[in-house]
Structure 1
Amino acid sequence: MKKTIFLSVLSMFSAGVFAQSALDSQVRDAQCKSAADEIAKGEKASQDAKKGAKSSTWVKLATAYEDMAVNCGKDSMASEKAYNSYKKALEVEAGGKGAKDIETALKSQKLYSILMQQGAGYYNSKNFPNALKLFKLASETSPKDTIATLYAGIVAQLAKDNESAKLYFNKFIDEGGKDPAVFYSLSEIYKSEKDHNKAVEVLRKGITANPGDKDLKGSLVNVQLSSGNSQEAVNELKKLIETDPNNINNLLNLAILLQNDNNTKEEALVYYKKVLAIDPSNYDCNFNLGVYYFNQAVEIKKEVDKMDMKEYQKNGKAVEDKACAKFAEAKPHFDTCKATREKEGKPQEQDLMDNLTSLTSVLEQCAKRK
């Protein structure tokens, strides 16, 4: 998640609070008192049976809450109260002549700004539930605005409200938002819920919106792997390699996938060799190649173990020579791994040392046969 972008934009909405705090304290106190007085009058009027039945009463109360949010800031939920008062005004108006003006006020830049500003304040204080509540209302105020939608999704995820996060991230995407972090985060939510099909769908949308983003393409491969769809992962990796042929991670991951499939082991060798052409001392590649040749040798040796004496006398030596050649082919790769660890000043991996010990013993036996 790109938190640096999020914070930088939030600071734009927080700037108004800082500027207001620099006002002369007497002026500020006067503004706060005026807003508080208007709110008190408005709330009293709204509780009166006759006045409370007039939309104008609720509009005045909403305006007073807006002034409190803009000029004073003592009520950190004044923006929500303004929004709710406008909604009440619309309900009371019930389609009357004043409905259009109230709807305009509900969609105004002023209301949107104070909802975002106070939402940012809650975000900065890590009160994610209240921040989410205000960002949701800001999104309602300006339905086509992707910023409020983005913030609602991010804060919902931080608040561990996955349903809201999915709702607002999807809304962000539907409104044309292209931030790669959103596609990634949304796919991770679906992935955590074991909905791999949706995760893949979201990542494909992200790749379409950001065709050059390698991380999204890598995430798609990971999701396909985690869902057991290795063939799709192979296909995606091959596409990645077409556009970025020297990416060692993609080449290595593809080789590993192919090596795990008995039908494509020879193809795996092609990609391992491509990795070594770029990075001859690559530890993972050399280790896997060592294992590759060692396992081939073991399979060949099994043929000898199955032979009866007559067949062994006829073909045994040739098969054993073939197995020994494969064991010998494995050793330089394990030696490279050991040398790489020494060069990097890292302790040797136990698996590597065990393999080298076994291999050395086998090769000594091979030498005695000659």
Structure 2
Amino acid sequence: MKKTIFVSVLSMFTAGVFAQSGLDNQLKEAQCKSAADEIAKGEKASQDAKKGAKSSTWVKLAAAYEDMAINCGKDSMASEKAYNAYKKALEVEAGGKGTKEIEAALTSQKIYSALMQQGAGFYNGKNFTSALKLFRIASEVSPKDTTASLYTGIVAQLAKDNEAAKIYFNKFIEQGGKDAAVFYSLSEVYKNEKNTAKAVEVLKKGIASNPGDKDLKGTLVNLQLSSGNSEEAINELKKLIEADPTNVNNMLNLAILYDNGGKKEEALGWYKKILAIDPTNYDCNFNLGVFHFNQAVEIKKEVDKMDMKEYQKNGKAVEDKACAKFGEAKPHFDICKSVREKEGKALDQDLTDNLNSLTTVLEQCSKRK
């Protein structure tokens, strides 16, 4: 199972540019020329010693770049330039009367939209590094906005900047974001860093935010299994089964955990529950066949340890018990064979070997009678 974050919604931020394409070309060009002219004037003014010392000069330049980013789009980094111009204006103002107005412009919906729109353009062109740069700034502009932190985390992961991905996915979660795919993606980042404890913590947070998400729960179980934490995996599987009592895959995983952990009676109980729901379940029947076969082998070992005197006294009874167990194994392997034949598939080598071994053993058992 792999949960994926789909980012097609990023296209909403390019709407401002694409909506213009239906306008008359002359109007479009006029908008671009106007923005370019204002930028040229603003750049010239900013380089003048007197004018460059006024915050209003930088505010006008920033506004011109905003218009270029939103209405024209010929300068793909215009939104960043607008942001930097506002920052310069704030620096020049140095706490003066215009500070609040500049700060408002730096956190406005207009600059935010410009950054997100151009970031989305880079994303759509698969330039993830530049998209990440603009989305980062957008997240600074609107620090409580989950959309900015979400997209920054997504693009950071695509750009293989795991540190940034962790920062912004965690920020998204801290802001109250509940997208299950974010919890999955963040846990994968920690998992790949071998930080299993953190990956588990993230998944548990995700499950708390999305109590009905089966994929997150399954991912948590798989992570605990792969890290050798079988007791935690058992507890999580029990919760999954309680929530979905007919899911044989969860039951099978629980039975296998008990089986591998030496808790044979618990394992047998779950194998039987699975067959009550799905009598021809291949994996369950195969495991049960192996379960009874191994029990028979252990019983047979008792005979091999006997001396002649003990064998004459108890050997036949123990061999009969072993043969009975071998007999219990055979029907389960026969079902597996039938399932594969109905599917039109070749028999697995393990299944063929087990059936051949059982045929030989049961023939020997039959000759003893």
Shorter chain as denominator, the TM-score bin is over 0.9
**2:128–2:159 Cα contact (<8 Å) kept:** yes
Q: How far apart are residue 92 of structure 1 and its match? A: 2.0
The alpha-carbon deviation at position 46 of structure 1 amounts to 2.0
| C-alpha separation in 2, matches of 1:49 and 1:318 | 107
Whole-angstrom distance in 2 between the partners of 1:352 and 1:239 = 32
Equivalent residues in 2 for 1:123-272, closer than 5 Å: 123-262=123-262, 264-272=263-271
The equivalent of 1:288 in structure 2 is 287
Deviations 1:13-57 (A, max 9, x none): 122111112221112112211211211222222223333232222
Between the two proteins, the alignment pairs up a number of residues equal to 367
Tell me which residue corresponds to 1:310.
Answer: 309
- The structure with higher relative contact order (CA 8 Å, sep 6+) is 2
Does residue 322 of the first structure (1) align with residue 321 of the second (2)? yes
| 2:350 is aligned with 1:354 | no
Structure 1 stretches of 4+ with a deviation exceeding 4 A read 1-4
Q: Which residue of 2 aligns with 1:338?
A: 337
Q: Is residue 368 of structure 2 the alignment partner of residue 369 of structure 1?
A: yes
CA distance in 1, matches of 2:10, 2:163: 23
Q: Secondary structure at the match of 1:97?
A: coil
Distance in structure 2 (CA, Å) of the matches to 1:227 and 1:93: 56
- Counterparts of 2:301 and 2:47, CA distance in 1: 91
After TM superposition, give the deviation of residue 97 of structure 1 in Å. 1.8
User: Sequence identity of aligned pairs in percent?
Assistant: 80
Distance in 1 between the 2:85 and 2:256 partners?
A: 61
**Aligned-pair CA distance for 1:3:** 4.3
Output the TM-score relative to the length of structure 2.
Answer: 0.97
Structure 2 residue ranges without an equivalent (≥5)? none
Q: Give 2:44's aligned amino acid.
A: K
Q: CA deviation at 1:96?
A: 1.9
Structure 1 residues 234-276: Cα deviation after superposition (integer angstroms, max 9, x where no partner) = 01111111121111110000000000011x1110111111111
| Deviation digits for residues 37-82 of structure 1 (CA, Å, limit 9, x no counterpart) | 2112222222233332322221111111001112211001111111
CA distance in 1: counterparts of 2:87 and 2:347, whole angstroms? 68
Matched-pair contact (CA < 8 Å) for 2:45–2:57: yes
Aligned residue in 2 for 1:301: 300
- Classify the secondary structure of the residue corresponding to 1:144: coil
Q: What amino acid is aligned across from residue 87 of structure 1 in structure 2?
A: K
SS in structure 2 of the partner of residue 30 of structure 1:
helix
Alignment of 1:32-111 (within 5 A): 32-111=32-111
- What is the CA-CA distance between 1:2 and the residue it aligns to? 4.5
Deviations along 1:119-175, whole A, 9 cap, x unmatched?
A: 111111111111111111111111111111111111111111111111111111100
Cα deviation digits, residues 188-241 of structure 1 (max 9, x gap): 111111111111111111111111111111111111111110110001111111
For structure 1, the residue ranges without an aligned partner over 5 or more in a row are none
Cα separation, 2, equivalents of 1:47 and 1:227: 61
- With 45-54 and 314-323 compared, the bigger mean Cα shift is at 45-54
Per-residue CA distance 1:61-115 (angstroms, 9 max, x = gap): 1111001112211001111111111112112222222111111001100111111
Q: Does structure 1 conserve the Cα–Cα contact (< 8 Å) formed by 2:289 and 2:332?
A: yes
Distance 1:41 1:132 in 2: 30
What is the distance in 2 between the residues matched to 1:186 and 1:306?
55
Residue matched to 1:118: 118
Q: Secondary structure in 2 aligned to 1:71?
A: helix
Aligned partner of 1:273 in structure 2 is 272
1:30 aligns with 2:14: no
> Considering only aligned residues, what root-mean-square deviation do their CA atoms show, in Å?
1.2
